[in-house]
Amino acid sequence: MRPYDLLVFDWDGTLMDSAHRIVTCMQRAARDAGHPVPNDAAVREIIGLGMREAVARLWPAAAEREIEDIIEAYRTHWLGDEIPASSLFPGAETVVRWAREAGYLLAVATGKSRRGLDKVLEETRLKDCFDMTRCADEAHSKPHPQMLQDILTDLDTPPERALVIGDSEYDMLMAANARVDALGIAHGVHETDRLLKAGALTVLDELAALPGWLDGIHEAKESKG
């Protein structure tokens, strides 16, 4: 028996190479709202958090109305077409479709809003591949485990039968808080050592290596069993 029934993917930085677009949108939103413009590294640091949590971390002195203004400006840029659209990482679509055909349950747990996730799911034509998706405007932001716990409950999967796949320490900590295994992907926003310290079982250089890793885990268990 394979070790997992459910694979829970992060979106930005894991399936989609969207860091540049997120950084650009956030910097333009800051300028529009009249706030200091954060550098690239500061914005990359908050990728994976829910929007409200991300803005509050970038501008800790901002009042509630100012946070709302920045969020609204960000959404305007994100949903517009003046910034080139992001694309899936090489092999990401192949991996998702492979996992679907292999019989895994698939889910997404993301810091994106529902509107933002639905948009990219339609654009990438991957919507029908996932059994469930959960967004930060529907639950507590990562690293709180609520998004993941909701997925486990709705898909009737015990924690030990699920695997979180992500590129940030927020993904790893969310998994740990829900007692779920986590696998890091190195082509996202947080470096390998940071992912391992946050609880990743291991870190793959790229998402395309996931099928081989899962097959290896399965074969190792079979040989022991």
Domain check: are 98 and 34 in the same one? no
Residue 134 neighbours by CB under 8 Å, 6+ apart: 107, 108, 109, 110, 147, 148, 150, 151
Domain check: are 23 and 13 in the same one? no
Q: How many domains does the chain have?
A: 2
- Cα separation, 42 vs 23, in Å, equals 9
Domain check: are 12 and 52 in the same one? no
Domain check: are 123 and 154 in the same one? yes
Domain check: are 29 and 47 in the same one? yes
Residue 1 lies in a domain: no
Per-residue pLDDT of the chain (225 residues; tens, 9 = 90+): 788 999 999 999 999 999 999 999 999 999 999 999 999 999 999 999 999 999 999 999 999 999 999 999 999 998 887 788 889 999 999 999 999 999 999 999 999 989 889 999 999 999 999 999 999 999 999 999 999 999 999 999 999 999 999 999 999 999 999 999 999 999 988 999 999 999 999 999 999 999 999 988 756 655 555
CATH number of the domain at 112, please: 3.40.50.1000
Domain check: are 74 and 143 in the same one? no
Domain check: are 58 and 98 in the same one? no
Domain check: are 176 and 214 in the same one? yes
Strand partners for 183? 165
- Residue 211, domain extent: 6-17+88-224
Q: Looking at the whole model, is its pTM more than 0.95?
A: no
CATH number of the domain at 34, please: 1.10.150
Q: Which of 79, 99, 126 is the last residue of a domain?
A: 79
Q: Which of 27, 44, 79 is the last residue of a domain?
A: 79
Determine contact, residues 119/18, Cβ cutoff 8 Å.
no
Q: Which of 29, 60, 79 is the last residue of a domain?
A: 79
Burial class (CB within 10 angstroms; exposed 0-12, middle 13-18, buried 19+) of 140: middle
Residue 138's pLDDT is 94
DSSP one-letter code for 143: T
Domain check: are 60 and 92 in the same one? no
- Cα separation, 194 vs 21, in Å, equals 23
* β pairing state of 16-17 and 87-88: antiparallel
Residue 223's pLDDT is 57
φ, ψ for residue 120, nearest 5 deg: -75, -30
Residue 225's pLDDT is 54
Residue 78's pLDDT is 85
Domain check: are 12 and 29 in the same one? no
Domain check: are 110 and 202 in the same one? yes
Residue 220 lies in a domain: yes
Domain check: are 144 and 218 in the same one? yes
